[in-house]
Amino acid sequence: MRAYYLTQLARYPRAAQPSCWLWLVVLLLAWRPAHAQDTLTYANWRLAQADEFNVASDSAALAARWRFSYPWGRSPGGLETEYYTGQEVNVREGSLRLTAHKLAEPRLYPAGSEVRKLRYTSGMLYGRHTAPDSLRPAPCGTGEGITYGLFEIRCRQPYDVGSFPAFWLFGNPDEVDIFEGGGSLISNNVLLYAHDYWRPGPLEEPNCQCFFFWPKATRFTHGYHRYALSWLPGELIFYFDGVPIRRETRFKPMGCAMAVIANLAMWAWAGPATDALDIDYIRIYHPRQLPAQPFGAEAAQPLKGGIFRFPKATAPAASNPAGEQRWQLSRARTGQVSLFLRDNYNPTCMSNGPLPLAPEWHGPWTIGRQATPIVVTNTDTTAAHWTVLDAQGYPCRAGDWPPGRWPVTAASLGGLAPGAYQVRVQLGRAVRYQALYLLDQPTDSGPTAAWLAPAVAAP
């Protein structure tokens, strides 16, 4: 399209071109790809390590900063069937390629008391960070790893659904999966090893994983995307292409050092002869200023004889004590209704949601006891009229949102019963539809007296 405007400009005399240039600038500014807003700012971070992978090399050139297997072995076992080796780690044409190759015959690999049959060789990077980290809380050990920071990878996903790429942090006692890939899905996960010595309040549900999908799966395999994590005391923020897709304040790592890992695993059911995870860069940042948050706020209290008590904690997945999904409602320059999610805060664990598609988030509103509260802010100067449509498309509730903040609850929408709905939002003549799911059970869901009554014998 830009070439078209330049061609049309050449048709006019030079004297007439200044005004044409002005129109060209206006058109080029108006025509720009719409995309979800990139809010990842680097000003608050200091670059500590950058691997750009611009110089062709083999794994030997990377060995100073990365291992090519786990420190304890070359296969994690379980449902994975790969054997990690440095031969599958290579830099070619401006990117690092972690390659998986299917073996002609399975490799026998001892794992404890059993011997596994591994069907692939594959590549991984396991970070070497031996320098003392001043950000570590005092009770943590002095082993390898990094405490707090911004961790970012730009990569292209492998093609086969049996391939399992990941970029993650692992340490003692916790793990944070910045992204795990698989077909048209990616996920992020926080795993807290709650029964560790340093976390004396055992959690009943020590992990929280959220899945995100993209309707066009080829977007992951045909192009590069950025996956990042901001890790500070009390907060984790996961990013996709600079857009925050999850903010987590319930599940918080202790702050002990964790290793940075990028790997290409292969599931036991994988079938391709070869596949690859292509990495453009990996960058690690330290925070310029660390928020003040004392360590050990939840430490156990010593009892008689110096024995520690380990009280049972409530699983944080059962509630969302803080945070809300902030949706912004406005009138776009095109005259359409703009309704998009500004901040995905503490989503329900094991939830599925779409990634931010251009130019807006297209995720549904979910209302329930375990769902994050939803707030819509109408930034327009006029009231927005909303209508709730039932599953058959018939209007059942209606109201207005004047400028300001408005909670989206079953009560604020007129006392809706659980079910699936559409919300029609109207600003002037522009209309937009938003999916709504009300998950709470109705108050009268118990069995009736007639149902509980003993059956009457047939005469």
Instruction: Kindly report the number of other CB atoms within 10 A of residue 435's CB atom.
Output: 13
Distance CA 192, CA 407 (A): 32
Q: Are residues 260 and 355 in the same domain?
A: no
Q: Are residues 278 and 164 in the same domain?
A: yes
Question: Residue 310: inside a domain, yes or no?
Answer: no
What does the pLDDT read at residue 132? 60
* Total structural domains within the chain: 2
CATH of the domain at 327: 2.60.40
pLDDT of 436 > 80? The answer is yes
What does the pLDDT read at residue 154? 98
Question: Residue 28: inside a domain, yes or no?
Answer: no
Q: Are residues 401 and 347 in the same domain?
A: yes
Question: Residue 360: inside a domain, yes or no?
Answer: yes
What does the pLDDT read at residue 304? 35
Q: Are residues 133 and 253 in the same domain?
A: yes
Mean pLDDT within 276-297: 79
What does the pLDDT read at residue 343? 73
pLDDT category at 158 given cuts 50, 70, 90 is: very high
End-of-domain residue from the set 264, 287, 310: 287
pLDDT digits (tens, 9 = 90+) for 57-90: 777 789 999 999 999 899 988 889 999 999 999 9
Q: Are residues 152 and 231 in the same domain?
A: yes
Q: Are residues 233 and 360 in the same domain?
A: no
Q: Are residues 368 and 431 in the same domain?
A: yes
pLDDT of 38 > 60? The answer is yes
pLDDT of 447 > 80? The answer is no
The residue assigned the tokens 């719409």 is: 34
End-of-domain residue from the set 287, 305, 329: 287
pLDDT of 285 > 50? The answer is yes
What does the pLDDT read at residue 456? 57
pLDDT of 387 > 90? The answer is yes
Question: Residue 221: inside a domain, yes or no?
Answer: yes
Amino acid at 294: P
What does the pLDDT read at residue 451? 65
Model's pTM, two decimal places?
0.75
Pick 203 or 351 by higher pLDDT: 351
Q: Are residues 249 and 358 in the same domain?
A: no
Question: Residue 246: inside a domain, yes or no?
Answer: yes
pLDDT of 208 > 80? The answer is yes
Do residues 439 and 445 touch, judged by C-beta distance below 8 A? no
What does the pLDDT read at residue 342? 75
Q: b/e map of 350-389 (b: 16 or more CB within 10 Å)?
A: ebebebbbeebbebebbbeeebbbbbbebebeeebebbbb
CATH of the domain at 239: 2.60.120.200
Q: Are residues 367 and 236 in the same domain?
A: no
Q: What percent of the chain has pLDDT over 70?
A: 72
Q: Are residues 394 and 250 in the same domain?
A: no
pLDDT of 6 > 70? The answer is no
Q: Are residues 371 and 252 in the same domain?
A: no
Question: Residue 179: inside a domain, yes or no?
Answer: yes
Q: What is the residue-averaged pLDDT of the chain?
A: 78
pLDDT of 46 > 90? The answer is yes
The residue assigned the tokens 């070619």 is: 92
Mean pLDDT within 401-408: 96
What does the pLDDT read at residue 214? 79
Q: Are residues 62 and 161 in the same domain?
A: yes
Question: Residue 301: inside a domain, yes or no?
Answer: no
Q: What percent of the chain has pLDDT over 90?
A: 42
Pick 262 or 5 by higher pLDDT: 262
Question: Residue 457: inside a domain, yes or no?
Answer: no
The range of the structural domain enclosing residue 116 comes to: 45-287
CA atoms within 13 A on the CB side of 444: 3
DSSP secondary structure letter of residue 2 = H
Highest mean pLDDT among 97-101, 214-218, 287-291, 341-345: 97-101
